[in-house]
Homo-oligomer: A and B are copies of this chain.
Amino acid sequence: MIEEIAEKLNIPSAQLRELIDRGIIKEVEGEHPHLFRFDKECGAIENGTAIFVHEKIDIVRGFPKIRRAMILDPTIKRHFDCPTVMIEEKMNGYNVRIASIGGEIFGLTRGGLVCPYTTEKARDIIGDAFFKDNPDLVLCGEMVGPDNPYVPKDIYDIPSLDFFLFDIKKKASGASLPIAQRLRLVEEYNIKSVRIFGEYPVNEASAAAREIVKELGRQNHEGIVIKDPQTKIPPIKYTSSQSNCGDLRDGFRFYNDYGRPFFFTRIVREGFQAVEWNESEEELRERCLQLGESILKPMVYTIKSRKRGEQIGENVQIKVKYLETAREFEAHLNRMGIDAVFEEPEKVDGGYLVKIKRLYQSTNDKTMSVLNGELW
């Protein structure tokens, strides 16, 4: 078995054994088929790469980190050594990979765990036809909408939760299909896709990208991903100020649970965008106010809530067809180390609504201790 996995991963089997020994490849407990996942990236193999072991070995490569442009020009020109680039929308939800393993569809989250909620949705949304014809492909996309337990957003006019595809990859190699081929497939199988703004000559792309990002920002949308149509060159991403500030609002509400670098990088993006967009005094002042409000207001909200004795947390919800899915999802959050309280399911059209309070214990405790007069 080791030999077969190593061959599919294209690494020596001795190295594979070492990765298992060092705990970089971890078994995910309680999964059928058996599942192992890469807990860190390792050489060319991405963090979140999943290895399913059933009557055969199925590998679903991790979704690679998309690197970020801090300014559009000259970054696009410098990065893309190809005649044109495609600009697609980067939606704000959570990244999933959908694959068929032994004839059954599974939804994987970024880290390579099977998410029961995502799996139920994927089976519902995608159906069987695509994977019957293409068992060795992986659908990569964003799960978006208000019934999103990880990143709930109301900005898209989506009633519950929906899947928007942005990449189709080959299972074991992780190679992306060229964009034209991907678009033919989504049309053929009627799969929703993220918005595609168009194909631009590389030299004109940064000007186009800037206008697109500004418009997306006005709608509070996240940003764009810029891609080589042949998918030979890795894509890069760029986000709107409204998205950076939205992240800061989410983060500072739970200021002691988010990492320091999360805040820092989002703040630095604002500095480079202000310079690239050559803002007037008045525009810069407005950006400063937005930034300051995105940082301070959520923190003030949290401190005041805690002062009133409330638990610091975030209300999210899922809508499931089967109660079993909600129970499995609770176990899944647990396994991920996420602290969450599930309310009793409510019967709704087509299934159950389950309200969940996700707790942020570190922010909760730190805020309390300061309010009680402890030193920092």
Contacts and interface: CB of A to CB of B under 8 A. Distances in A.
Interface of A: 67-71, 73-79, 236, 252, 255, 260-261, 263-265, 267-268, 270-272, 274-275, 284-285, 287-293, 295-297, 299-300, 302-304, 307, 370-376
Nearest to A370: B70
Contacts of A74: 372-373
B375 A67 contact: yes
Interface centre among A77, A78, A268, A297 (most CB of B within 10 A): A268
A237 to B, nearest CB: 10
A178 to B, nearest CB: 23
A243 B231 CA distance: 50
Contacts of A267: 252, 263, 295, 299
A292 B288 contact: yes
A365 to B, nearest CB: 14
Given A68-B375, A373-B75, A376-B67, A287 B291 contact: no
B284 A270 contact: no
Nearest to A302: B271
Contact of A264 (B263, B291, B302): B263
A76 B375 CA distance: 10
Given A275-B307, A295-B291, A374-B78, A284 B300 contact: yes
Contacts of A272: 303, 370
Contact of A271 (B71, B303, B372, B375): B303
Given A260-B260, A303-B271, A71 B284 contact: no
B296 A274 contact: yes
A264 B274 contact: no
Contacts of A69: 373, 375-376
B372 A268 contact: no
Nearest to A269: B376
A131 to B, nearest CB: 34
B255 A271 contact: yes
15 contacts: A67-B376, A74-B372, A74-B373, A78-B374, A79-B375, A263-B263, A265-B376, A275-B304, A284-B297, A288-B295, A288-B296, A290-B292, A291-B291, A292-B292, A292-B295
Contacts of A289: 285, 288-289, 292
A301 B121 CA distance: 48
